[in-house]
Structure 1
Amino acid sequence: MKNEHVWHSNESLLERLKLGDLDAFNVIYERYWSVLVNESFKRLNNMALCEEVVQDVFIDLWQQRAVRDIQNLEAYLRTCMKFKVFEVYKKNRRTKSMLEENLSLMQKNEISEYDQYAEKDLKSLIEEWIAHLPQKRKEIFKMRYLDEFSTKEISEMTESSQNTIQNHLGISIAKLRKLIIQHFLVFILTLFY
């Protein structure tokens, strides 16, 4: 029994992990998965995103097992999780900023005559995409980007938390960005072939 406790100590698990012991990795995973998900949920308030962040932490732990000199396993995992959460914040902020810049460009009519066809095509693509959004996400997206309400105002009008509103917008923007990139890749390929 005492020997089993030694095998399950963080120090022993780290030693075995460095050697590529999958059982040690699984023990670490089971020990810290829910702790990290709960901690990241306090910051992101989106369970799917939290699970993705924590999964990335464990993938990095396994891939870097031989080169990292980890002294305190829990502190290391929590720090990795915080960096991953920060990356999510940074990515969401950058995506939101890019979408707002593009929408602003269209509203100011700074698009040349040559690009009017592309603008029309893009608008119809976005309108069609909006039409297929789930009802709540559609309402939130329209309120934010067409009616120009702040997330706080939308939160009050829909009686939802501001984090919920931001999560809906983040998901929408990520999917819209992917759609636009795919659309324009096809458009560019048709120009050259």
Structure 2
Amino acid sequence: MKVEGIDNGSIENLVLRVKKSDQKAFNILFTELWGPMYSYACSILMNDSLAQDVVQDIWVDFWQRRQDLDVKFLKSYLYKSIRNKCYNHLRNQKFNKIQLEVAHTLSVASDVDQNDDVIELSTRINSVISHLPKRCQVIFRLSRINNIDNKEIAHKLDISQRSVENQISFALRQLRKELAVAKTLFFFL
């Protein structure tokens, strides 16, 4: 049962169904994504049998943790999981010069990883900003999105320049705190 041209909207819908233990939805995702995931694992490990094991482990883990996972971009999540599992395996093995060269040059296809990462990061930033106090949101957006200087913001909102600076500092601290996990993730990519 091959699903041709599965899009991100369909994937999101299928993930929601999987979270409700819908095995048919899981099978659709598995059937559609197994091949590319297997190829990706093979390109890292250069061992067909081990690549199959890695991909199988990722799918088993996904099914077992389906209700606890909060995955917005499934393909990105799965490919990162494969890469990490492969790297962990390679780290613990002795490998040849070709494997070393391949490991250093590998990157996930930009249409899968980078685009999803940018969207996810943008969504997380907007979420953090939307949870700031209203005045802080306004000041931060004027400063960082509209590129208005602090003095002009202070004049526009009839507050002191120091208040503007404090609100921007608060917003930046919140962003740093909330996005620390994302920063770590992007550092290792």
How high is the TM-score relative to the length of structure 2?
A: 0.45
Q: For the pair shown, which has the larger CA radius of gyration, 1 or 2?
A: 1
Question: 1 or 2, which has the higher helix percentage?
Answer: 1
